[in-house]
Chains A and B, each alone.
Chain A
Amino acid sequence: MEPQAASRDDLLVILRHSPHGTSWLRDGLDAALVAAAFGQTVSLLFQGDGVLALLRGQGSGALGQKGTAATLEMLSLYDIDALFVDAEALARLGFAANELMLPTDSVDAARTAALLASHRQVLVF
């Protein structure tokens, strides 16, 4: 393994699916929470339709799922504060970063590449 590995952040979880339609978002968040509970440094990157998870005012959904907004609100309790959002996806869907329910850092393709390089491990959901 490369010598700088020890100084890199532990885990980057990439969330690419919108809430409610599938369980991908919930499953990805669950993995992130468990990793944080195990003492890992966890960052989240919301990409593509995954940025929709961060819109304000989400309920539990028409299909009886619990929804993910409550989980997102708990992230800081797990010390998951590094939240990144794909700027291009946000723009494509017509939203601005200040409309989101949590403070996030907007990233372009170059920053995304840097994020991938700066984490020891990446899980994509």
Chain B
Amino acid sequence: MRYALLVQGAPYSHQASHSALRFAQAVVARGHTLDSVFFYHDGVYNAARLAAPPQDEPHLPDAWCDLHAQHATALLVCIASALRRGLLDEREAVRHGKVGHSLEPPFELTGLGQLIDLGQRCDRLVTFSP
């Protein structure tokens, strides 16, 4: 079965993204396809390039990147939610005159249309919200 996830909770503030990651790992372990994870609302903080959690805690941004590396899961970040919250890739940082960027591949800034497309294209779209 082809799955997609919608993640709306900030990492370390809420259970949502931690649960989403475990669900994602279970989906691929059972032989299903995890097409994409779409980060919306405060979920966009999962894509923070500069996140530096304590070493004895799960590193959520890195764990999402592992998922992409091993299973080619697309990591889609809502651009409207991200820019408001200071999550800019290199191109957006230049466009807005910022000195650094806070989001990098494999995370991709994209529009809400991608979320709607996932809902149509995948067998299941599962939401993780705080």
Residues of A within 8 A of B (CB): 1, 11, 23-24, 27, 30-31, 34-35, 37-38, 40, 121, 123-125
Contacts and interface: CB of A to CB of B under 8 A. Distances in A.
A121 B41 contact: no
Given A27-B81, A30-B80, A121 B119 contact: yes
A30 B40 CA distance: 11
Interface residues of B, number: 17
28 contacts: A1-B123, A11-B116, A23-B41, A24-B41, A27-B40, A27-B41, A27-B81, A30-B80, A31-B40, A31-B112, A31-B116, A34-B111, A34-B113, A34-B115, A34-B116, A35-B116, A35-B119, A38-B113, A38-B116, A38-B117, A40-B120, A121-B119, A121-B125, A123-B6, A123-B119, A123-B127, A124-B129, A125-B129
- Which 9 interchain pairs have the tightest Cβ spacing? A34-B112, A35-B116, A121-B119, A38-B116, A27-B41, A34-B113, A34-B116, A31-B112, A30-B112
Interface of B: 6, 40-41, 80-81, 111-113, 115-117, 119-120, 123, 125, 127, 129
